[in-house]
Structure 1
Amino acid sequence: MNTDPNRWGIIYNPKAGTRKVQKRWKEIKEYIESKQVAFDYVQSEGFGTVEVLARAYASEGYRIIVVVGGDGALNDAINGILTSSAEQISDIAIGIIPNGIGNDFARYWDLNLDYKEAVDWIINNRRKKIDVGYCSYYDAHKHERRYFLNALNIGLGARIVKITDQTKRFWGVKFLSYLASLFLLFFEHKLYRVHLKINDEHVRGRVMTVCVGNASGYGQTPSAVPYNGWLDVSVIYRPEPLQILSGLWMLIQGRILNHKMVKSYRTKMVRVYKARNAAVDVDGRIIPSHYPLEVGIQSEAITLIIPN
């Protein structure tokens, strides 16, 4: 049991990106040691182990848990902490050292790949309570709840994650796999028949994708703020081929909400009654899509160490 509230529990996720990224840990560790920070560290050994390690750190009394990884590792860590046996989860602070390609949540806080800046900010220990989204669902055996910091995607966004995971085996590099999946989906142009309830409105029809964002959602919910107690929702309807190109350009520029095929909402709860044949992902993790789903928010559920 750790009794030092200033001792860091570090989780290093070596599978968060390319080989070059994996080599950074030695430099990161040496820099932390040069700052005379007391810490323990463990390395994840594959899918799901970050969640187990974070749960163990929280249950063993660590009050500063640092994740060296991307969005997927951070999501696993949050789920581990929130399902731990720690007496005061609100006392646990999460530090992020971005490591990999998928660092959308870190970028929201202006955390870049400069690990020295990230370490210095964690040492400074400026804290902010933030909201956490959740998705409650039935996995065909029992009821589950998965938490997220960034976004939940139904349809296109989740398909990109799914195809990226499949093509990564061939390309070896996640970024190339991501580009390949976008290329395939551009020509696939698949639509999904959905039935959602957002606030008091029932949303029915054929859509390309739905994004429920606690933060930027990879540009799909650019106005979302992870500390205002609300979720932002973007529903993208059927665009024509040229509208897809303009939509991608507007997505890159952070103006996707201005696209005429996008309808946006702000809510505290989304009920998904149906999304036929649509994959669902939570912060890049595919979850079983047994409907209905309930997507909601827990205000100020976790503490994050943020930049100066």
Structure 2
Amino acid sequence: MSVDPGKWGVIYNPRAGTRKAQKRWKEIKEYIDSKQVAYDYIQSEGFGSVERIAGMFANNGYKTIVVVGGDGALNDAINGIMASDAPEKSSIAIGLIPNGIGNDFADYWGLTLDYKVAVDWIINNRKKKIDVGVCSYYNGKSHEKRYFLNAVNIGLGARIVSITDQTKRFWGVKFLSYVAALFLLFFERKLYRSHLKINDEHIRGRIMTVCVGSAKGYGQTPSAVPYNGWLDVSVIHRPELLQLVWGLWMLIEGRILNHKMVKSYRTKKVRVLRAKNASVDLDGRLLPKHFPIDIGIIPEAITLIIPN
């Protein structure tokens, strides 16, 4: 199938928890139409469909794939593209119109929730090649790879992501979501017997959370840059209760690396040999708990359409 190189493939992922999904898309569609943009559109239907649609667009030669959704939908789209048979994946440009519960990656780039501004930026077509993180593991039957743009969280960080996403569905306020997460985590200050290898250093012991970020990692890797070919890693050991409270506040303020219980690294790869009973998430998507996990980075693997 041959597709006009200027034609968009648009994936609309309805925002979870809202009853205004079709109204939202109607407004976006009308604005795109008013700009006389050529596009094909498919709405996602349930978990995994964004990944399939993105792979289909990539396989059929679309050079601009626009995701209307949040971090989870964007992650699914990246996985669909990376798993596709497209010969030059790095030439596929991703446009993002934020529409999700979590928009951490969009926030990093200053992408606005105003869909008109986002559409105008995509039309302007300012591109930047960005890195894609890769997480490899054995699921008990076969070797699997999952890709990410933001971060992999292991332990408490995965629980924070899960809790804040759930509370945002009801309140839609980031600060209140963090407060709810803090309240719940008072009862979940678990430590996980872990063994990691970072830059030939073996880290063993009881660890609360690990974040491996290509971007800011929900505030846990605030110095990470998604286009320098490196991963940032934050390892949080055993904070006391007051240190945990202070640490969450520093997380909100973007200063978590200044916390005395946090050790940071910059590396090309991380091997997690063990993290007993710890949850693992990748851009907010929970992964099976199969260790060891190898986490790496693919420089300039894909193109992102960024603001002016």
Same fold (TM over 0.5): yes
Say if 1:53 and 1:174 are closer, same or farther in 2 by CA, change over 3 A: farther
Tell me the CA shift for residue 192 of structure 1: 0.9
**CA deviation digits over 1:26-69, x for unaligned, max 9?**
11111000000001110000111000000000001111000000
**CA deviation digits over 1:174-195, x for unaligned, max 9?**
7589554442222221111110
Tell me the CA shift for residue 244 of structure 1: 1.1
**DSSP-derived class of the 2:152 partner:** strand
Identity, in percent, stands at 74
Letter in 1 for 2:280: V
Hey, what's the Cα distance between the residues in 2 that align with 1:195 and 1:257? 21
The answer to whether 1:304 aligns with 2:304 is yes
Structure 2 gap segments, 5+ residues each: none
Hey, what's the Cα distance between the residues in 2 that align with 1:129 and 1:271? 26
**DSSP-derived class of the 2:159 partner:** helix
Kept in 2: contact 1:129–1:302 (CA 8 A): yes
Kept in 1: contact 2:15–2:101 (CA 8 A): no
Kept in 1: contact 2:182–2:245 (CA 8 A): no
Hey, what's the Cα distance between the residues in 1 that align with 2:137 and 2:5? 35
Letter in 1 for 2:4: D
TM-score normalised by structure 1 residue count: 0.94
Kept in 2: contact 1:16–1:73 (CA 8 A): no
Hey, what's the Cα distance between the residues in 2 that align with 1:24 and 1:37? 18
Kept in 1: contact 2:15–2:99 (CA 8 A): no
1:271 alignment partner in structure 2: 271
Kept in 2: contact 1:232–1:267 (CA 8 A): yes
Structure 1 gap segments, 5+ residues each: none
How much is the aligned-residue C-alpha RMSD, in angstroms? 1.9
1:173 alignment partner in structure 2: 170
Tell me the CA shift for residue 90 of structure 1: 1.7
Say if 1:139 and 1:175 are closer, same or farther in 2 by CA, change over 3 A: farther
2:252 alignment partner in structure 1: 252
Letter in 2 for 1:144: E
**CA deviation digits over 1:100-127, x for unaligned, max 9?**
2200000100002011111001001011
Structure 1 window deviating more from structure 2 (235-244 vs 216-225): it is 235-244
How many matched pairs?
Answer: 305
1:280 alignment partner in structure 2: 280
Kept in 2: contact 1:17–1:174 (CA 8 A): no
1:137 alignment partner in structure 2: 137
Say if 1:63 and 1:174 are closer, same or farther in 2 by CA, change over 3 A: farther
Letter in 2 for 1:143: H
Hey, what's the Cα distance between the residues in 1 that align with 2:276 and 2:171? 28
Kept in 1: contact 2:271–2:292 (CA 8 A): yes
**DSSP-derived class of the 1:97 partner:** strand
**DSSP-derived class of the 1:188 partner:** coil
Structure 1 window deviating more from structure 2 (217-226 vs 80-89): it is 80-89
1:78 alignment partner in structure 2: 78
2:23 alignment partner in structure 1: 23
**DSSP-derived class of the 2:14 partner:** coil
Hey, what's the Cα distance between the residues in 1 that align with 2:143 and 2:171? 32
**CA deviation digits over 1:245-297, x for unaligned, max 9?**
11111111111000000000000000000000001000011111111110000
Letter in 2 for 1:259: H
The answer to whether 1:95 aligns with 2:92 is no
TM-score normalised by structure 2 residue count: 0.94
Hey, what's the Cα distance between the residues in 2 that align with 1:42 and 1:174? 29
Structure 1 window deviating more from structure 2 (90-99 vs 12-21): it is 12-21
Structure 1 window deviating more from structure 2 (17-26 vs 200-209): it is 17-26
Hey, what's the Cα distance between the residues in 1 that align with 2:293 and 2:226? 21
1:191 alignment partner in structure 2: 191
1:4 alignment partner in structure 2: 4
**CA deviation digits over 1:180-230, x for unaligned, max 9?**
444222222111111000001111111111000000001000000000000
The answer to whether 1:146 aligns with 2:146 is yes
**CA deviation digits over 1:59-94, x for unaligned, max 9?**
011110000000000000000001111122122100
Kept in 1: contact 2:10–2:67 (CA 8 A): yes
Letter in 2 for 1:147: Y
Kept in 2: contact 1:53–1:80 (CA 8 A): yes
Kept in 2: contact 1:16–1:69 (CA 8 A): no
Letter in 2 for 1:101: I
Say if 1:151 and 1:41 are closer, same or farther in 2 by CA, change over 3 A: same
Kept in 2: contact 1:106–1:112 (CA 8 A): yes
Hey, what's the Cα distance between the residues in 1 that align with 2:231 and 2:205? 21
